[in-house]
Structure 1
Amino acid sequence: MVEFGDLIRAAREFGLYQKLVVLWISLPLLLIPFQMVGQVFMVVDVPHYCNTDWIRAVGPNLTEEEQLNLTLPRDANGDYEQCIMYSPVDWDLNSIVAYSLNATEKCSNGWVYPTAEQPSLLTEFDLVCDRKDLSGISQSIYMVGLLIGAIIFGPLSDRIGRRPVLLICLLGQSLFGVAIAFLPNFTLYIIFRCIMATAASGILITTLPLATEWVGVSYRPTAVLVSHCFLAAGQLVLAGLSYGIRNWRLLQIAGSAPVFALFFYYWVLPESARWLVTKGKIEEAKKYLKKAASINKRTIPPEMLDQLKCETQTKPGSILDLLRKKHLLRMTLIMMCAWFMDSLVYYGLSLNVTGFGLDIYLTQFAFGVVELPARICCIYLLQWFGRKKVQAVLLLLAGLMCLIIVGIPEDQAVAITVLAVIGKFAACASFSTSYIYSAELFPTVIRQSGVGLCSMAARMAGIIAPLILILEQYHSAIPMAVYGSATAGGLLCFLLPETRGVELPDDTVTDNHQRK
């Protein structure tokens, strides 16, 4: 009896063909970090105060300093209040100077940004004072888009294939990403960014099966983590782009337009042969397998290909199998928890790049640099210690770093940043492990549905993470304390089966994972 894994070994488990596939699916991931957290660099806080031009009607010859002294109160440090102004009056200028103004109110005529900065989301759409939380809400709505994408594109990929879904998502991300740069108001910005997020989610969860289903058992971590290294490199791209381009519209174009260069995918991107077999499309699967063998300078014996037709077709699966079958339900719930905690810490730290006390571009660069060794180390950690232990320990470490940060004084910016970088390292490595682990746990017929459910859990955490940061206004320790709950997810992972060295399951009939 010939298994699909035998055919992959005959064609070579990780030959030139598989390396090209991994390269193709990795290129779009370079810009995913920009789409996810790039907004942080578009709303960097700048000095601002209420627009008080009303006084110009009675004092047209006032200097700017005189105008501000007469119309703006000062805070305890002697600086002008940024969100409060003296209420306008119908007095003449002499009366205003003689008696001064006492009644205050919130800014009623917009804000003034005295620094000569390039246009940003903050200055163009006034994301300050009472509107300050709109930035975090916008980021949460983006995560809603990622959630919608997981709901739509996970099952759709199992139904119509990995290749068409990836092509559709690439087109959607590029079109809506560029369109965002030309929008006239913040409401449209939020809507378009949410739509773009659905496409980005589809790209993330569709590249996973293409990376795992084309390679042999021992090369699955390498294939997935190489693609994730491009995500890490994307963090460095984000740091460079945001530092060099301060105009938010130009930055948005620079972070989105390059996806158009991937139009050639229509001709070079393959479908998953393993998925084709499970759908009974045997001849098409044979065509891809022969092509892979040819490029790898191998030949698959004809008798093996003949047996593929009668031996490897599988019973169709349903997402309901994840709920009906006890072993699948247990794995699904634990992995959803792991993905949730991964996402909570990862995005909580990434979106708080302005809150650690150091230069935000330097902090982002450090976050990007640390992601590369995090992804690369995973390749060896997973081979040496297995999936279960690595997943559990990394998640525990990520949560622990957040809890330690809670006890560090706020004026220790360097210490806090170092701990945050370690936490980002662990969360990043844990996230990569979750992708690999999930792909190995779920059967081929519902692999994308299972990963889609896990991705939904991660997106729920992504929605919550920016909102948790808003709680910092009540106490600075609240966000990190919440992110520290990831330790609980790490403990649950010890209940999962080990999948190191185990062939990918194709059907949902039995629990064929070896427990170690």
Structure 2
Amino acid sequence: MNFDDVLSRIGGFGKFQKTLYVWICLPQILLAFHMLVSVFTGAVPPHLCRAAWPPAARPGPNLSFSLSVGPDASPDLSCAAPDTLPGVRLNRSATLALTEGSASRGCRGGWDFSKEVFQSTVATEWNLVCDNAKLNNIGSSIYMLGLLVGAVLFGALADKYGRRIIILIGLAVQATFGVGAAFAPNFYVYVLLRFVVGTTISAVIMNVFVLGTEWTGRKQRMLAGIITDYFFGFGYILLAGVAYFIRDWRKLQLAISAPGFLFIFYIWVLPKSARWLMAKQRKKEAMDLIRKAAIANGRPLAADFELCQEHKDLKDKAEENKYSVIDLVRTPKMRKQSLILFYLWFVNVLVYYGLSLNISDFGINIYLTQLIFGLVEMPARTITLFTLNRSRRISMFSFIAVGGLACLLTIFIPDELSVLRTVLAMIGKFGITASLSIVYVYSAEIFPTVVRQNGIGMSSMCARAGGVIAPVIYLLRSYSKGAPMVIFGLCPLLGAGLSLLLPETANKPLPDTIQDVERGMSSVDTEKMQEIHFQPCPRNSDVII
């Protein structure tokens, strides 16, 4: 038997796996909080320079003034001192009309921020507007850089030390530094603490996915990505409610971080990966876990059932061959598939966070938009359950193409039709969310066991590069307002074309070696390989490799 056959025998998705998925899914809620909280903690409310306002005429906390602008005055006044602009007259009778983002022109006394929506944000506390506005985007990019660093660092560590220990370390560090960010004394310390939190996001999100995949049977393994994604989507929705009731950024940061300490009980309940233990030649530990899973699933193994070692020559060869990320691009077929998957991860995350972190651009209430975008994730993930079993490749192509086309169409919608623009953005979010769910499953099935964690780690690194770039792309609005959405439209369309070059993996066995990928895995190939490479156990007929 290969390991997939073992899982079929003991139950590919029995009580043991269902319990495991409970432990895998719960942290996803907090991961969504950390990933998207900057939508609220980094928000920039309407603001005016307070330096030159006379005390009697200074705007209150809700900035209930209007500005009447003469023919020679700039229309963009949120960064300008009133006495520096010709033709400006104050009027108490109307609502403030202003736009954001111009360069500072003489504001030396700070800003008055509207408190109609937010009591406090990172931007209001540290004046991240006007000349300092770019720091907000840079801070988001540095956080995403943390995810990239975490993908590289913890991907390699997980292959060496195991998925479980890295998950436990990631959860502990995430809670500690997340709480620390709520008490940051300045913006730079805050960004540093968020950077560390970002590294732990990759540690957890990659390894819970791989752990679930490696314990799940062939027919049910697509659930490893989809089920956990549901809980991420639930966290997306729940964040809108939490942020609505907690409008001070420090309290909000504390509220999403402190519950992470509850995961300390994972030390006793989270299992190791038996497949990883077998790859590391830790036969006894793997056998103990397999027996435990079999009993939990109500399908106990015979008393004399045991793990058998591979043929000695193959074992020696495996020990001599130390796989690395270089092996992902060393051979022709593996190289082509790896590079395509790297790009698909990059573009999916680029567009996903490009849309998710800039919901204020669509002209609708920020809490409502967050809720809608979160709700869209549920049907997007659900529909993949019905399409993935038919074809991974066609599903990938279809959804990423829909996401790209919808984003591209938004550039033709005028600003006054904000509802229509939001609907198109929702369709784009729908397609990209479904595509992102699929690429997790697809990648785990294409990368062979010997480099699977390296492959997922490198893919995640490419994805995080997309996350780093996403906030920066919005700086292109100063040159062309539609530029970000053009990029978010064209890049997925290219990915759709490339996805057609990948192999179909639906209901196929997982490849274990790079040679499996090069020759093309099939059930016939698998049977032949077993006949050639594996010897039966001398004491019984049950063989596990």
State if a TM-score over 0.5 links the two structures: yes
Counterpart in the other structure of 2:110: 110
Shift of 1:78: 10
Range moving further from structure 2, 105-114 or 269-278: 105-114
- Partners of 1:399 and 1:483 within 8 A in 2: yes
Quick one: distance in 2 between partners of 1:420 and 1:159? 41
Counterpart in the other structure of 1:51: 50
- Partners of 2:477 and 2:484 within 8 A in 1: yes
- Partners of 2:25 and 2:231 within 8 A in 1: yes
Counterpart in the other structure of 2:135: 134
Quick one: distance in 2 between partners of 1:253 and 1:321? 42
Counterpart in the other structure of 2:94: none
Counterpart in the other structure of 2:345: 339
Shift of 1:245: 0.7
Counterpart in the other structure of 1:94: none
**Is 1:480 paired with 2:485?**
yes
Matched ranges for 1:45-194 at <5 A? 45-52=44-51, 62-64=56-58, 74=69, 81-85=77-81, 105-113=105-113, 115=115, 117-194=118-195
Matched ranges for 1:226-245 at <5 A? 226-245=227-246
Of 463, 466, 487, the match for 1:461:
466
Matched ranges for 1:9-408 at <5 A? 9-52=8-51, 62-64=56-58, 74=69, 81-85=77-81, 105-113=105-113, 115=115, 117-302=118-303, 304-307=305-308, 315=318, 316-384=322-390, 386-408=391-413
**Is 1:501 paired with 2:507?**
yes
Q: Deviations over 1:427-457 (max 9, x none)?
A: 1111111100111111122111101111111
Against the structure 1 CA distance between its residues 113 and 263, is the aligned structure 2 distance closer, same or farther, given a 3 Å change threshold?
same
Quick one: distance in 2 between partners of 1:253 and 1:318? 39
Shift of 1:302: 4.8
Quick one: distance in 2 between partners of 1:329 and 1:178? 41
Aligned amino acid, residue 6 of structure 1: D
Quick one: distance in 2 between partners of 1:310 and 1:347? 48
- Partners of 1:497 and 1:515 within 8 A in 2: no
Give 5+ residue unaligned stretches, structure 1: 57-61, 89-103
Against the structure 1 CA distance between its residues 65 and 16, is the aligned structure 2 distance closer, same or farther, given a 3 Å change threshold?
closer
Q: Deviations over 1:301-320 (max 9, x none)?
A: 35552436669968253222
Against the structure 1 CA distance between its residues 341 and 79, is the aligned structure 2 distance closer, same or farther, given a 3 Å change threshold?
closer
- Partners of 1:235 and 1:368 within 8 A in 2: yes
Q: Secondary structure at the match of 2:81?
A: strand
Quick one: distance in 2 between partners of 1:372 and 1:209? 22
Against the structure 1 CA distance between its residues 357 and 55, is the aligned structure 2 distance closer, same or farther, given a 3 Å change threshold?
closer
Range moving further from structure 2, 127-136 or 246-255: 127-136
Q: Secondary structure at the match of 1:218?
A: coil
Q: Deviations over 1:94-127 (max 9, x none)?
A: xxxxxxxxxx932112112254651211211111
Shift of 1:355: 0.4
Counterpart in the other structure of 1:99: none
- Partners of 1:146 and 1:198 within 8 A in 2: yes
Shift of 1:224: 2.1
Counterpart in the other structure of 1:93: none
Shift of 1:55: 6.4
- Partners of 2:224 and 2:441 within 8 A in 1: no
Quick one: distance in 1 between partners of 2:375 and 2:407? 19
Quick one: distance in 2 between partners of 1:167 and 1:211? 15
Shift of 1:87: 6.9
Counterpart in the other structure of 2:7: 8
**Is 1:440 paired with 2:445?**
yes
Against the structure 1 CA distance between its residues 3 and 22, is the aligned structure 2 distance closer, same or farther, given a 3 Å change threshold?
same
Give 5+ residue unaligned stretches, structure 2: 85-103, 524-545
Task: Using the aligned pairs only, state the percent identity.
Answer: 40
Quick one: distance in 2 between partners of 1:140 and 1:43? 12
- Partners of 1:357 and 1:413 within 8 A in 2: yes
Q: Secondary structure at the match of 2:277?
A: helix
Against the structure 1 CA distance between its residues 381 and 288, is the aligned structure 2 distance closer, same or farther, given a 3 Å change threshold?
same
Shift of 1:46: 2.1
Q: Secondary structure at the match of 1:126?
A: coil
Quick one: distance in 2 between partners of 1:357 and 1:239? 17
- Partners of 1:498 and 1:515 within 8 A in 2: no
Against the structure 1 CA distance between its residues 362 and 308, is the aligned structure 2 distance closer, same or farther, given a 3 Å change threshold?
farther
Quick one: distance in 2 between partners of 1:514 and 1:389? 19
TM-score, with structure 1 as normaliser: 0.90
Quick one: distance in 2 between partners of 1:232 and 1:65? 40
Aligned amino acid, residue 429 of structure 1: A
Counterpart in the other structure of 1:451: 456
Quick one: distance in 1 between partners of 2:81 and 2:268? 61
Quick one: distance in 1 between partners of 2:105 and 2:499? 53
Quick one: distance in 2 between partners of 1:114 and 1:369? 29
Aligned amino acid, residue 34 of structure 1: F
- Partners of 1:73 and 1:81 within 8 A in 2: no
Quick one: distance in 2 between partners of 1:409 and 1:54? 35
Quick one: distance in 2 between partners of 1:507 and 1:79? 63
TM-score, with structure 2 as normaliser: 0.85
- Partners of 2:44 and 2:121 within 8 A in 1: no
- Partners of 1:278 and 1:506 within 8 A in 2: no
- Partners of 1:341 and 1:461 within 8 A in 2: yes
Q: Deviations over 1:161-206 (max 9, x none)?
A: 1001111111111111111000111111111101110001111111
Q: Deviations over 1:447-480 (max 9, x none)?
A: 1110111111111111111111121222221110
Quick one: distance in 1 between partners of 2:415 and 2:83? 36
